[in-house]
Structure 1
Amino acid sequence: MKKLIVIAIIVASFVTLSFSFYYMLTIYQSDLGITSAAEPMANEHAQRIVIISQEQGSFMMNEIQKGAREAAEEHQIKIDFWGVYRSNLEGLIKQIDIAIASKASGIIVEGVDHPDFDLMVKKATEKGIPVITINSDAPNSLRKSYIGSDHYQEGIIMGEYIATQLKGKGVVGVIKNLSSPSTDELRLKGLNEVFSKYGGIKLVFATDDEEMSQPKMQANDILNHYPDVSAFIGLSTDSGESIVQAAHSRSRAKNYPIFIFDDSPQTVMLIKNGQIQAGLSQHYEEMGIMSVNLMKRWLDATQLPLENSYFTPISVVTSSGEEEKALENHSK
């Protein structure tokens, strides 16, 4: 009996010593950053990218997320999608601040050309977190690169198409996107450059009032002040239906050609129905793929520095279902 007790004590002591040795070895390996091949350490140091949107839930952002998710899976990195549901600078900046606090590896965000946004990008940069802007830029910030459409070239391409369709003459009402003034300015710059070649085309705008934020209100205001308006251009995405409603409510007999810088399913349906003349495809999914690929290159230090901008294709979409004119990828 005593012999069995002694054996049990010896076995118990051996097991205890074995576990102690194992835990000591584990702690030692952890301190050195070594992980076991059989039992890999939790991915606490895995790369994690946060994509932050000004228009969470929109067609544009859903397409960007689709492309980004595809690229993230290919690179086996974690990706989170955050954002605000209405363009809101304060909310967007708060989201970036949270991403910084959560120690994201990199941040991809819709840029806002505003000093407060620039300061937040600077904060991220000082923390060693690279920021890439997507779809809309903040050129004065410390962002590493911009991925998206060249909005100035959008204006050029759409302007040439509109001038051809209107045969070089007409009063064209412009519906602005008050939440993205910098994008509008670039598109208008392109449009004006083209229309300056045609003395017969005149651009008109709604009353400069914050209350005129809705596309339908702007369209009605233009119709009130410019009864000779002959066409509309919607600079803001998803403004097509509102412009169609405003134009139709005024005159069912008069057909106003409407051109939109958008290719959401809703806009494409209106184009197919003949209610909108043409839209603009910006290839959002490709933006998502490219942004994650470039962020990965930065994080892995395989491409430093990045180019200042990487532009995705631009295409005019018509009822024929064909993209009539495209601008291929380029960087500058």
Structure 2
Amino acid sequence: MKKLIVIAIILSSCFTLAYSLYYLLMILQSESGMMSAVKPLPYEHSDRIVIISQEQGSFMMNDIQKGARDAAETNLMLIDFWGVYRSNVEELIKQLDIAIASKVSGIIVEGLDHPEFDRMVKKATAKGIPVITINSDAPSSLRKTYIGSDHYQEGILIGEHIAAELKGQGIVGVIRNMTTPTMDDMRLKGLGEVFSKYDGIQMVFAADDHEITQPNMQTYDILNHYPKVSAFIGLPTESGNSIVQAAHARSQTKQYQIFLFDDSPQTRLLLRNGQIQAGLSQHYEEMGSLSVNLMRRWLDAAKLPLNSSYFTKISVVTSASEKESALENHTQ
């Protein structure tokens, strides 16, 4: 009886061992087949760059990303898009630090006039990671170059258009952007230079009060203190609707001329409806593609050094031109 039990245990053990060996062989064969079927990822050993934005999800960044993505594909580069959804200095600095720790090949980022930003660019440079600023600059940092609009020339261009529309006469209420003062300073410098040539044009601002920061509140404040205001210029992106509503709420009979520094979808709709007179196109897609192409040049050490800045196109978009464009698109 004992012999039968021993024989049964031995046979059972042999069967278990044989099954285990068979199962292991099948796994090895399966893995071998999978390995042979795996193909190298596209651009697996290519340079990896990251674009970090202060306004992730905005129409501006969507256009920048489109141009950058197309250029990255052409240059066989891997590209990631990071950013914050509301301007947040601390979060942007943190993402810069993470990008440096990730050992990316290059960083393209919206510049900040902030000592911590300069410190992070210096840290990246020390680790051999080039930093390029886009859309907004940080000229005091060790960034390699800046790609974007010349904000001073933006002020000149829209200022000349406003002066012509006002025929050299009028009070212009300026709606400021509290999150990007450096960019606004350059735009206001250009505006002021143009308006200084006209004795009949005066620039006015809302009270410098922390409770009066939103475009609609600034508009109300200007209307309260300057009832003879005839036009508004909005520096914050997509401020047009707030200015229009505030001005219309104050007076449904008086028509104010309204001008903006952007050509967002909201702005283009207001232009088509004749509620504002002109906007400014920044050509963001061009910024995105050019920034990636210049990063490729730097990484390849080709045609160096880079220029200090590469200014992209700016152009005035008027209500008439936008209506004409919309009509052409409708008839096609």
TM-score with structure 1 setting the length: 0.83
CA positional deviation for 1:224 = 1.4
Q: How many residues align?
A: 286
Q: What residue number does 1:202 align with?
A: 202
1:43 is displaced (CA, Å) by: 6.0
Amino acid of the structure 2 residue aligned with 1:166: L
Q: Does 1:293 align with 2:293?
A: yes
The yes-or-no answer on 1:243 pairing with 2:228 is: no
Give the counterpart letter for 2:219 in structure 1: A
Q: CA deviation at 1:322?
A: 6.3
1:277 & 1:246 partners in 2: Cα distance? 16
Aligned twin of 2:136: 136
Deviation at 1:212, TM superposition (A): 2.2
CA deviations over 1:34-73 (Å, ceiling 9, x no partner): xxxx976996642111000000000100000010001011
The percent identity for this pair of structures is 74
- Partner residue, 1:309: 309
**Structure 2 SS opposite 1:297:** helix
| Range with greater deviation from structure 2 (302-311 or 141-150) | 302-311
* Structure 1 unpaired stretches of 5+: 1-37, 324-332
1:175-324 alignment to 2 at 5 Å? 175-321=175-321
SS of match in other structure, 2:229: coil
* 1:72 has 2:72 as partner: yes
Cα distance in 1 between the residues matched to 2:193 and 2:322: 26
Q: SS at 1:210's partner residue? A: coil
CA distance in 1, matches of 2:106, 2:247: 45
Q: What is the Cα-based RMSD across aligned positions, in Å?
A: 1.6
Q: Distance in 2 between matches of 1:141 and 1:220?
A: 38
Q: Which amino acid aligns with 1:97?
A: D
What's the TM-score once normalised by structure 2's chain length?
0.83
Q: How does 1:22-37 map to 2 (within 5 A)?
A: none
Asked whether the 8 Å contact 2:43–2:77 carries over to 1, the reply is no
SS at match of 1:255: coil
Q: Match for residue 146 of structure 2?
A: 146
Residues in 2 aligned to 1:248 and 1:43: alpha-carbon distance in whole angstroms: 54
Change in Cα spacing, 1:93 to 1:198, as seen in structure 2 (3 Å) is same
Bigger radius of gyration among the two: 2
Provide the residue aligned with 1:122 in structure 2.
122
Q: Deviations over 1:155-190 (max 9, x none)?
A: 001000000000101111101111100000000000
User: Partner of 1:68: helix, strand, or coil?
Assistant: helix
| 2:262 partner amino acid | D
- When residues 319 and 77 of structure 1 are mapped into structure 2, their CA distance, relative to the original with a 3 A threshold, is same
Q: Where in structure 2 are there 5+ consecutive unaligned residues?
A: 1-37, 324-332
Partner of 2:107: 107
- In 1, the alpha carbon distance for the partners of 2:281 and 2:141 equals 27
Q: 1:39 to 1:259 in 2, by over 3 A?
A: closer
Aligned equivalent of 1:33: none
| Partner SS, residue 185 of structure 2 | helix
Conserved in 1, the CA contact under 8 Å of 2:46 and 2:76?
Answer: no
Partners of 2:239 and 2:291 in 1: CA distance: 26
